[in-house]
């Protein structure tokens, strides 16, 4: 069961990152346009719109992988 849960997390994060990058490419823009200029150093990378886009895709994939693989991380 633990291996399935690790697989769900890794697959959802990697698919989320790929889907986020594919969205940026599909709209013909660049990652710099999604950057947030807050002058906080490392927080500028974390508080980036691209990060939230990838997180949204990853959460959708995580929910479906949890359902199909039967890891039961979400309560019924």
**Model pLDDT for residues 18-61, shown as the tens digit of each residue:** 999 999 899 988 877 776 777 777 777 677 888 889 999 999 99
pLDDT at 63 over 90: yes
| 58: Cα separation from own chain's centroid | 4
Domain boundaries of the chain, sorted by first residue? 2-69
CA dihedral 66, 34, 22, 67 (to 10 degrees): 10
Distance in angstroms (rounded) separating the CA atoms of residues 42 and 39: 9
6 pLDDT band, cuts 50/70/90, is very high
Segment 3-32 mean pLDDT: 92
pLDDT of residue 49: 83
Angle between helix 49-69 and helix 2-26 axes, rounded to 10 deg: 140
Better-scored residue on pLDDT, 41 or 5: 5
């Amino acid at each position: 069961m633990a291996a399935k849960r690790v697989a769900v997390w890794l697959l959802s994060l990697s698919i989320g990152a790929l889907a986020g990058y594919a969205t940026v490419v599909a709209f013909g823009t660049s990652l710099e346009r999604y950057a947030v200029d807050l002058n906080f150093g490392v927080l500028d990378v974390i508080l980036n719109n691209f990060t939230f886009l990838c997180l949204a895709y990853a959460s959708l994939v995580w929910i479906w992988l949890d359902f199909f693989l039967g890891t039961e991380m979400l309560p019924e």
